[in-house]
Amino acid sequence: MKWELKNSLILIGYMGSGKTSVGQRLAEKDKLPFVDTDHYIEEQQSCSIKTIFEQQGEEAFRAMETDCLHKLLKEERQRVISVGGGLPLREENRSLLKQLGLVIYLKAEPDTIFERIRGDVTRPLLQTDNPRKKIEEMMACRESAYLKAAELVIRVDGKTINEVTEEIEELGRK
Ligand code: S3P
């Protein structure tokens, strides 16, 4: 890929939009290191996101996300980064993301997300009686923050991981 990147390529979007899978694929193709902020935090804390939410609460987790961005910024390395679905909601985080590199929003419809993540027990915010409704409400609330954070938007509905990856690479060639 020929992105004129000063630094990193960052994927944002709702849970299940494919950020991690697409990010890994892009990193492999471009021989860049890959970082997923959820995994980074899990390693630093030596426990799962689910346990962090249960034992320390969401606010503590959100502070860890901001801390993670500060650390990545300090390292000054070019890489592909995928971030947790709620990370771009904080204004401070959006500013840090822009400093880290080019931000791409992987946009999906609620039905696509629901089909992909139904039955998943690893995402604490979706453990409700009506996850379909929760997904729709959260996505509507988050849309403006995602749009503010991103320079580019890619629609992922009905596309495979490979197709989304190729679309991003294609944009990089233009
Ligand atoms: C969250 C998304 C999750 C994870 C946590 C909270 C959110 O990441 O950070 O469960 O608020 O949308 P993924 O988007 O990678 O699933």
Establish whether residue 86 lines the binding site of ligand 1, counting it when its CB lies within 6 angstroms of any ligand atom.
Answer: yes
pLDDT in tens, 115-131: 999 888 889 899 999 99
The backbone torsions φ and ψ at residue 126, rounded to the nearest 5 degrees and listed phi first, read -105, 10
Predicted local confidence at residue 76, as pLDDT: 82
Of 87-91, 145-149, 166-170, the range with the lowest mean pLDDT is 166-170
The model's pTM: 0.95
Atom of ligand 1 nearest to the CA of 142: 12
> Going by C-beta distance under 8 Å and a sequence separation of 6 or more, which residues neighbour residue 62?
86, 90
| Gap from CA of 131 to ligand 1 centroid (Å) | 14
| Gap from CA of 101 to ligand 1 centroid (Å) | 21
Structure letter (DSSP) for residue 119: T
Q: Determine the distance from the C-alpha atom of residue 129 to the mean position of all C-alpha atoms in its chain, rounded to a whole number.
A: 25
Atom of ligand 1 nearest to the CA of 89: 11
Q: Is the pLDDT of residue 4 over 70?
A: no
Question: What is the spatial distance between Cα 41 and Cα 35, in angstroms, rounded to a whole number?
Answer: 10
